[in-house]
Structure 1
Amino acid sequence: MRQTWVRELCGWLAAVLIAVVTVAQVATTARADLLFRDSDSLVVALLVRSVSEGESFDWVMSSVLFLPEIVVFGLLWMLGRVFALDVNAVFVINAVVNLTALYGAVRLAAGRRREGSAPVAWSLLAVSMFGVLAMTETSASRDSLELASLLATTTYYSATVIAVVLSIGIVRRVFDGTVRVRWRLPAVLGVIAAVSTLSNPLYAAWATVPLGLLLGVSAVYQRSRGHAIPLFVWIVGGTAAGFVARIPLSEWIANDGSAYAQPTLWPQSVRYYGELLAERLSAPLGALGAVLLTALLLLAIVQSVRAPTRGARVVAVAAWLLPVLVAVGAVALGTHAARYLEPVAFAPILGLVASPRALRVPQRAVVAMTAGAGVLLVVGAGLSTPRVAATAQHPNADLTCVSEWVNASGQVGAGQFWTVRLPKLHLDDPSQLIQVDHQLNAYAWLINRSDFEAGEVTFLIEDAQSTSWALGTNAMPTDVIACGQYTIYDFSPVALPLGPARS
């Protein structure tokens, strides 16, 4: 028993080191834009800061509520306040937490340790392969097939990814388990399904549909029926409960997601995803990532055939079935968002833990390899920590210029979605910047609508991502302040009225 606990603890420590190395590599490429600066990526941080500072709560979200992500980031935000960490440092810690949580979910999917198995080692290998995939992703684009690195963000469905892998792990544990725990784990699956669907309806597409299909097929066979039916009922019931629980929250949901499904646009969807794939394959690192994913998918298919137990077969089949169903579904629904295909990146690694057999290696060799891997991870993490710290703390002169001017002005200004959110997060008083569209209408999207109570602004901020202003007024700025990538147009003492809110 003691050896088991030591082994599991070492697995978690190694997973943290792998996460540190992975995050450091991602953060030192152009991908850092998604971690620290992308307007979409900042919603959780903006909301947590708003709540922690006691602002009136009138947030409007997309179809995703980010509930688990908000809880995790909120706890880390409070920890950051204690140790005087800035928001970028909290982003880095959150990224490490996300990748470490993936290890925990994969370890659950690897099953219990048995004689002749090595689930900890194979789980670490699986997470390492995911880390390698993330390291091959180096662009700043939020809309590319660089999907593994999205787990490092606070916004792009990290909690849903973990929930899906946990769900697969629970199904495996039930199929491998005993009668004593058979009703408890399905209930946990139902809770995960309910909370995940409440937070993000994509859980239904990523987990409920493929796992429901697997469980439905398993229920046909007599010896699997006792396991499959309770699991099926709980995951479907939990998902339905999650959708029902969203109804009272509709006031804060600006888009229920139904508009994203446009089946008649499937030819455009094929073209869109095909172009993204071609772009990914055109880069050497992208091609390497594609080869690795293909190898993992092939391994999962082989494991599906050779699986020694029903639980192992469920994990192996899920490893290739999720990517196939999600990719086909995304095209069939005419979607145009690469992030919907995230299971293509994370599900295939489960093929490595479907049947985590221990290799027949002499004990001395095992000790030597383990020690060597441990030393490499410690050295790698030690070298990575200063790199990622330097990246997180790297001064942004343009952002500093904007922050200092706005803080000193005491005025309330505005900017468009892709421009204003980063400066807003870093201001002493975020309410000094209001999110608007190019016509100065209040833009109620992933923002606190209480900001709009100001009613008027006296300056505007723009950058290269801003659409040309159409203000409907002859007012001219009295001063123009250049802050590198940003330009501030100061209209004071003239006040520009905000138009009606739209989303």
Structure 2
Amino acid sequence: MRRVWGRELAGWAAALALALLAIGHLASSPRSALIFDDGDSLIVALVGRSILDGGGGDWALSSVLFLPEIAVFAALDAVLPLNVDGVLAANAVVNVLALYGAIRLVAGRHAVGRSPVAWSVAALAAFAVLVLTESGPSRDALELASLMLTTTYYSATVVGVLLAVGLCRRFLDRTRAGVALPVTLGLIAAVATLSNPLFAAWATVPLSLVLGGLCLTTPAVRRRGLALIAAVVGGSILGFLGRIPFSAWIANSGAGYIQPAEWIHSAAYYADLAIDRLSSPGGVLGTVAVLALTVLAVVRTAHASDAGDRLVATAAWALPLVVLIGGIAAGTHAARYLQPLVFAPILALVALPSVRSRSSVRTRVAGAVVAVVLLVGGAVAVPRIVQAASAPDPDLTCVTDWVDSSGRTGAGQFWTVRLPKLHATDPTRLVQVDHELHGYAWLVDRRDFAVGEVSFLIEDAQTVAWNLPTAAAPTAVVACGRYRILDYAPATLPLGPARS
């Protein structure tokens, strides 16, 4: 028992080191903007801080409610003595550790001839390698692994999918069937679907197909397979029903994203993204790694030793295939919807049997060397993370200091105002608007629009040219590096009706 616990603790230590390595790489690359600065990436932090400040809010969210993500961020923000960027960095570490925990569940129990901890660490290491091949600033590129380190781009859904696969595997591995695992699977499916309907596309549909195929080819597990299908489908249905009380917060149900007539354009769009991904050495390395893992998954499907292994190996290639075909058939145009293409193939590694060395001493030495390398690498990455999370942004500070000292309310467009809004002492002092000064009710608290008028505007290079309802000119222009503050005081600018 002590040896087992020692292995588990070593696995978590290795996972922490890999998390630090991956985050350290992103923190020192242009892609760090997706963690700390991007307008999309800040919604969880905005909601979390609003909750901690005692305000529930009247939020206009997308089809994703981010419920687990908000809970994690708010908990970290409440207990850690860090600035908001520090909390975002800590949240990235937690996301990777949660990913490892889900992978470890998929890997199965300790048994003779198996090394689930070692293979779980190997799978996470493969994922970390994919992160290391990504460094571009674009939120809509096929650099999908690094999205897991943000608070916004569906990290909880990724973990939920892997937990579902792991629970299915554990249920099939048991000698005695019970109801605890199917019930847990149903609860996870319900919560994951409630928070993000993409769970149905990433897990419910493809996992049901995998389980259905397993039932047809392996009669011995048919009853269990059908129970698992019922659990994941039933849980997802409950999740969709659970979204009804949150309908006031859902500004876009997501139905408009499904446009089957656009499937040709969708295929061309993703093909262009693939070409862009292959235009760099890192992109080629990452793509080759994913393809190699996919081939390995197919081979393991054909040579699986039991139903649990076959389920995991099949899921490793079937989930990406179903999601890719479904995404194109639905006419989607967003790279983030294809994340199963990178996180599912790593399951091929936890479907592998144990590789036994002829010398136990050699195995221990190799393990010790790997552990030392990971720990040293993780330790080296820490200063890079700290530097990125604490690096001064004089332009942003200039804006927030001016806003805080003015005591007045201003406005800015989505991609411009969200970062200053998060860092301002009072976020309600900055209202999110469109270029015609209509309240822009998207990923924001709609109570902000009650102010009715503003006396200054913030703009930067991402700001669309203003078309204001008045011909008044600003009485002063404050330069703050990449930002400009257009001050109209003592005059005010009326806000138009809010739109989504």
Return the letter of the residue paired with 1:415.
G
Equivalents in 2 of 1:417, 1:209: separation in Å? Answer: 34
Any stretches of 5+ residues in structure 2 without a counterpart? none
Return the letter of the residue paired with 2:136.
S
* Aligned partners of 1:413 and 1:460 also within 8 Å: yes
Return the letter of the residue paired with 2:387.
A
Q: What per-residue deviation string (whole Å, max 9, x for no partner) do you get for residues 449-486 of structure 1?
A: 11111111000001111111111211110000111111
Give 1:143-162 correspondences, 5 Å limit.
143-162=140-159
Among 206, 210, 227, the alignment partner of 2:206 is 210
| Aligned match of 1:132 | 129
* Aligned partners of 2:414 and 2:432 also within 8 Å: yes
Matched, 1:383 2:400: no
| Aligned match of 1:195 | 191
Equivalents in 1 of 2:170, 2:52: separation in Å? Answer: 39
Give 1:300-379 correspondences, 5 Å limit.
300-379=297-376
| Aligned match of 2:96 | 99
Give 1:66-145 correspondences, 5 Å limit.
66-80=66-80, 83=81, 85-145=82-142
SS of aligned partner of 1:31: helix
| Aligned match of 1:397 | 394
* Aligned partners of 1:301 and 1:320 also within 8 Å: yes
| Aligned match of 2:30 | 30
Among 229, 239, 243, the alignment partner of 1:242 is 239
**Structure 2-normalised TM-score?**
0.99
Deviation at 1:218, TM superposition (A): 2.5
Equivalents in 2 of 1:56, 1:240: separation in Å? Answer: 27
Name segments (4+ residues, structure 1) moved above 4 Å.
none
Equivalents in 1 of 2:383, 2:268: separation in Å? Answer: 42
* Aligned partners of 1:110 and 1:356 also within 8 Å: no
* Aligned partners of 1:56 and 1:450 also within 8 Å: no
Deviation at 1:108, TM superposition (A): 0.7
Matched, 1:272 2:278: no
Give 1:406-417 correspondences, 5 Å limit.
406-417=403-414
SS of aligned partner of 2:436: coil
Equivalents in 1 of 2:456, 2:394: separation in Å? Answer: 20
| Aligned match of 2:46 | 46
Return the letter of the residue paired with 2:208.
G
Equivalents in 2 of 1:36, 1:376: separation in Å? Answer: 28
| Aligned match of 1:231 | 228
* Aligned partners of 1:416 and 1:462 also within 8 Å: yes
SS of aligned partner of 2:408: coil
Over the aligned positions, Cα root-mean-square deviation in angstroms equals 0.9
Any stretches of 5+ residues in structure 1 without a counterpart? none
Matched, 1:164 2:161: yes
Deviation at 1:56, TM superposition (A): 4.9
Equivalents in 1 of 2:496, 2:175: separation in Å? Answer: 62
* Aligned partners of 1:478 and 1:490 also within 8 Å: yes
SS of aligned partner of 1:348: coil
Give 1:51-62 correspondences, 5 Å limit.
51-62=51-62
Q: What per-residue deviation string (whole Å, max 9, x for no partner) do you get for residues 154-190 of structure 1?
A: 000000000001100111111111225x311011000
Deviation at 1:359, TM superposition (A): 2.4
Q: What per-residue deviation string (whole Å, max 9, x for no partner) do you get for residues 384-413 of structure 1?
A: 101110111111111011111111111100
Equivalents in 1 of 2:174, 2:27: separation in Å? Answer: 41
Equivalents in 2 of 1:403, 1:243: separation in Å? Answer: 40
Counting matched residue pairs gives 499
Return the letter of the residue paired with 1:187.
V
Equivalents in 2 of 1:347, 1:222: separation in Å? Answer: 26
Matched, 1:475 2:472: yes
* Aligned partners of 1:183 and 1:230 also within 8 Å: no
| Aligned match of 1:485 | 482
Return the letter of the residue paired with 2:247.
S
* Aligned partners of 2:439 and 2:449 also within 8 Å: yes
| Aligned match of 1:10 | 10
| Aligned match of 1:19 | 19
| 366-375 vs 318-327, which moves further | 366-375
Q: What per-residue deviation string (whole Å, max 9, x for no partner) do you get for residues 422-453 of structure 1?
A: 00000111111000001000011111111111
**Structure 1-normalised TM-score?**
0.98
SS of aligned partner of 1:487: strand
